C-alpha cells in the first residue's frame, strides 16, 4: 500500500488541468478585442477577421487560426506552440520572440511578417508565401520545413517536410 500512494500522487498531478484556457478572455478576443498577455489556450479563431489586434505575450498554444485574417496583428513574445495557421492571412504580423514550435502555416500568407528571434522549431511552412518576411535567419529555417511552393526571402532555404 505504501508504494501505491506515490503512484497515485503522480497520477493526480498528471491528470490535473495545467493553465486551462480563460473562457472570458477568449470570448472577448473572438469578438474583436485585443488581448495582450491573455490565456487563449486552444481558442478557436478559425475563419475570423482580427486585423491590427494586440496578442503580444498571449498564450495561444494549440489555438486554431486557420483561414482567418490577422494582418498587422502582434503575437510578439507569445506562446504559439502547436498553433494551426493553415491558409490564414498574417500580412505584416509580428511574431518577434514568439515560440512557434510545431505550428503549422501551410498555405499561409506571411508577407512582411516579423520573425525576429522567434522559435521556429518544427514549424511547417509548406506552400506559405513569405518572400518579404522580416527577421528570418537560416538557423531558424533549418529547424522548420516547407516544400517547393514555399516562397522565402532571397538567399534563404528551408528543408523539405
Cell numbers for 156 = 534563404
- Residue 14 within a domain: no
CATH label of the domain that carries residue 150: 2.160.20.80
- Residue 5 within a domain: no
- Residue 46 within a domain: yes
- Residue 24 within a domain: no
Q: What is the pLDDT of residue 19?
A: 58
State phi, psi for 138 to the nearest 5 degrees.
Answer: -65, -35
Report the 3 state secondary structure along 99-158.
Answer: ECCCCECCCCECCCCECCCCECCCCECCCCECCCCECCCHHHHHCCEECCCCECCCCCCC
- Residue 2 within a domain: no
Q: What is the pLDDT of residue 146?
A: 98
pTM of the model: 0.87
pLDDT per residue as tens, the chain (161 positions): 444 444 434 444 344 344 578 899 999 999 999 999 999 999 999 999 999 999 999 999 999 999 999 999 999 999 999 999 999 999 999 999 999 999 999 999 999 999 999 999 999 999 999 999 999 999 999 999 999 999 999 999 999 99
Nearest to 77 by CA among 59, 63, 96: 96
105 lies in which domain range? 36-156
Task: Name residue 99's beta-bridge partners.
Answer: 79, 119
- Residue 133 within a domain: yes
- Residue 161 within a domain: no
Q: What is the pLDDT of residue 14?
A: 41
Is 25 in a helix, a strand, or coil? Answer: helix
- Residue 94 within a domain: yes
Number of domain units in the chain: 1
Amino acid at each position: 500500500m505504501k508504494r501505491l500512494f506515490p503512484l497515485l500522487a503522480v497520477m493526480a498531478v498528471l491528470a490535473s488541468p495545467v493553465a486551462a484556457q480563460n473562457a472570458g478572455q477568449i470570448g472577448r478576443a473572438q469578438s474583436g478585442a485585443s488581448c495582450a498577455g491573455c490565456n487563449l489556450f486552444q481558442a478557436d479563431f478559425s475563419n475570423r477577421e482580427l486585423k491590427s489586434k494586440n496578442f503580444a505575450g498571449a498564450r495561444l498554444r494549440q489555438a486554431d487560426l486557420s483561414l482567418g485574417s490577422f494582418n498587422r496583428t502582434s503575437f510578439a513574445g507569445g506562446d504559439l506552440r502547436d498553433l494551426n495557421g493553415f491558409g490564414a492571412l498574417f500580412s505584416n504580423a509580428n511574431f518577434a520572440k514568439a515560440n512557434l514550435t510545431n505550428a503549422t502555416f501551410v498555405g499561409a500568407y506571411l508577407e512582411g511578417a516579423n520573425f525576429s528571434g522567434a522559435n521556429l522549431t518544427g514549424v511547417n511552412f509548406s506552400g506559405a508565401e513569405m518572400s518579404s518576411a522580416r527577421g528570418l535567419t537560416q538557423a531558424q529555417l533549418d529547424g522548420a520545413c516547407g516544400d517547393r511552393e514555399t516562397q522565402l526571402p532571397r538567399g534563404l532555404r528551408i528543408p523539405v517536410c
